[in-house]
Amino acid sequence: MSPFKPHQYRDWYIACTTQDLRDSLRHPPISRTVLGVPLVLFRGSHGQAIALLDRCPHRNVPLSLGKVERHTVQGKPASHRLVCRYHGWQFDEQGHCQNIPGLCPLVMEENQRAIAYPTVEQQGFIWVYPTVETAPNHQPYHFPLVEQPKFSTFGWQMQAPISRENIAENFLDATHTHFVHAGLIRSSHQRRPVTVQITRGDRQVEAIYRGEQQISGLIYRLLAPGCREVISIGRFLLPAIAQIEYQTDRNDYRLLMSLFITPIDHQQVQIHSVITFRWGKINWLGRLIGQPLFHQAMRQDLNILLAQAKNLERFGGEQFAYTQLDLLRPHIDYLLQTPDEPTAQSPKPLSRFEKTIAIQL
- Contacting residues toward Fe ion, per CB under 5 A: 301
- CB-nearer residue toward ligand FES: 16 or 82: 82
| Residues of span 42-61 touching ligand FES by CB under 6 A | 56, 58-59, 61
Residues touching ligand FES: how many (CB under 6 A)?
8
What whole-number distance in Å separates Cα of residue 198 and Cα of residue 324? Answer: 12
How many CA within 13 A on the CB side of residue 239?
22
What whole-number distance in Å separates Cα of residue 66 and Cα of residue 206? Answer: 44
Q: How far is CA 345 from CA 71, 338, 341, 342, 359, in A?
A: 54, 11, 11, 8, 34
- CB-nearer residue toward Fe ion: 63 or 271: 271
Neighbours of 347 (CB within 10 A): 9
- Asked whether 209 and 231 are in contact (CB, 8 A), the reply is yes
Residue 301's binding partner among Fe ion, ligand FES, none (Cβ under 5 to 8 angstroms by kind) is: Fe ion
Least distance (Å) from Fe ion to the CB of residue 171?
7
What whole-number distance in Å separates Cα of residue 130 and Cα of residue 36? Answer: 9
Phi and psi (nearest 5°) for 334? -60, -45
- CB-nearer residue toward ligand FES: 58 or 96: 58
| Residues of span 60-89 touching ligand FES by CB under 6 A | 61, 84, 86-87, 89
Residue 61's binding partner among Fe ion, ligand FES, none (Cβ under 5 to 8 angstroms by kind) is: ligand FES
Least distance (Å) from ligand FES to the CB of residue 76?
24
Quote the distance between the C-alpha of residue 284 and its chain's center.
Answer: 26
Residue 255's binding partner among ligand FES, Fe ion, none (Cβ under 5 to 8 angstroms by kind) is: none
- Asked whether 296 and 183 are in contact (CB, 8 A), the reply is no
- Asked whether 244 and 232 are in contact (CB, 8 A), the reply is yes
Least distance (Å) from Fe ion to the CB of residue 217?
11
- CB-nearer residue toward Fe ion: 161 or 339: 161
Task: Convert residues 295-324 into a mask of x (bound to ligand FES by CB under 6 A) and - (unbound).
Answer: ------------------------------
Residue 56's binding partner among ligand FES, Fe ion, none (Cβ under 5 to 8 angstroms by kind) is: ligand FES
Binding residues for ligand FES (CB under 6 A): 56, 58-59, 61, 84, 86-87, 89
